[in-house]
Structure 1
Amino acid sequence: MATEEVNNPPSLPSYPQLIINAIEALNDKNGSNKTSISKYIESKYGDLPAGHSTLLSHHLNIMKESGELVFWKNNYMKADPNAPPRRGRGRPPKPKVPLPPGMVLSSARPRGRPPKDPNAPLRSPKPSGSGKPRGRPRKMARPEGGIAASSTTMMSASVRPRGRPPKVKTSAFTEVSVGH
């Protein structure tokens, strides 16, 4: 901060003092925004350093974090020691009960499924009481000829083929004779 004070002209007070003076002079009940603070400082002290806006932003952030200023709805105001702290949006957090001394919290369980024990005995996935294998049964292979092949061809002749039947083509002669 000493280097920032060197950049100020000798007639200028420190930036935190400039900011406090500006907020007091503007005297707005809702506080003053950064633009109005900057304009007040420029009007009162015409001779400002080149990086005035960055210096102002930097010092406003420092004063906000230290508690000298309160930032509410994009406005800065002096912190009132008697005022209760302002709450943000949402439900306030539950108060934490302090632990008695000497008590240590156990670490939380890690996320995810625990790893399998490599020394555990192998288990069968299903008891072998039913005797049937799991899943869909395999297709039976078709025999290549013989009695079974001739019976399948006879059987397939009486069974309709897959899909939509083909459209029956009619000749022009039948259409004319049907029309009369």
Structure 2
Amino acid sequence: MATEENSNPPPPQPSPAAPPLPQYPEMIIAAIEALNDKNGSNKSAIARYIESTYADLPGAHSTLLSHHLNKLKQSGQLVLLKNNYMKPDPNAPPKRGRGRPPKPKAPLPPGVSMSPPRPRGRPPKPRDPFAPPPPPKAKSPSSGTGRPRGRPPKKAKTAAASAPSAAPSGGAPRGRGRPPKVKPAVAPVGC
């Protein structure tokens, strides 16, 4: 019976787990540093490096890569120049925004507070404090003519009104549009 115990193979040992996949920003920065191109690395080069270095990438790898590249670009950790991503130069001057730079403001002496900015629009006319209040304006609905403002509404067509004009003389109703031009009859020229 001792042979039966030895004939059974030992249970398979669990394989050592692969190291966990690093976060995408770390993989992207590592890929750019490893590729070490002076003009930066494009998205496809970064993707190839990550695919060759790391196993077990998720199925949506290209989508995740694009998302994290955009996030790193917006946060300023990467710079996009001619479709190539690179780390920003620490010695480069800060990027200037569009438009004219604001004028430098002189510092105020201590103890002086700044007045609030002037409101928009035309300032109101000064009023005489001793003048009587103006009489209330009477609202006239139509500026005195008695007619309402604007274009008058269209009159509704009735069947009785349109019947006489539909068949003027020929009995057939007139077609839409301009009637054709009537050509005069030409008499043959005799020799």
TM-score of the superposition, structure 1-length normalised? 0.46
Give the number of the structure whose residues are more often helix, by fraction.
1
Higher relative contact order (CA 8 A, sep 6+): 1
TM-score of the superposition, structure 2-length normalised? 0.44
